A = this chain, B = another copy of it.
Amino acid sequence: MIGNKLELRTPDEAEAVYYEAFMHCDKEVMAALWADGDVICIHPGSGAIVGHEAVVRSWSHIFTNARMPEINFTVAKRTMTDDLAVHIVAEEIATGNEASAVVLATNVYQKFPSGWLMTEHHSSLVPVQTERQGQTLQ
């Protein structure tokens, strides 16, 4: 940690931490993974949540109301420059007895002096019918 942020050497390392924090409902790690400033998080069916405090609060709310999910994620595409990376990720999220949900996410990471941090997350649910049509990435 440097200050209250993780030290992550690559976008892939940041992404692994993101999904670990999600699966373990770990608000502290999520807070240390997201950069400060005008970061933006869009959960499935939500509006845009802007700023570190509001984003972490949204995750805290999700973690309070959920069982720890099982998540299988597949990075479909990585685009990267020296200090900006965009990943498109297919997430299969299962929580207990319910059928698993398929979510597509665009994850954006930026490089700071301490390392790579998450600055944007945009996710949307893939309807089951669409999934069956074979349009998803999984």
Contacts and interface: CB of A to CB of B under 8 A. Distances in A.
A86 B88 contact: no
Contact of A136 (B48, B124, B133): B48
B84 A130 contact: no
A49 interface: yes
Contacts of A5: none
A106 B125 CA distance: 15
Chain A interface residue bracket vs B: 35 or more
A50 B74 CA distance: 15
A46 to B, nearest CB: 6
User: Across chains A and B, which 6 residue pairs bring their CB atoms closest together, nearest first?
Assistant: A47-B135, A124-B124, A47-B136, A81-B81, A106-B122, A81-B84
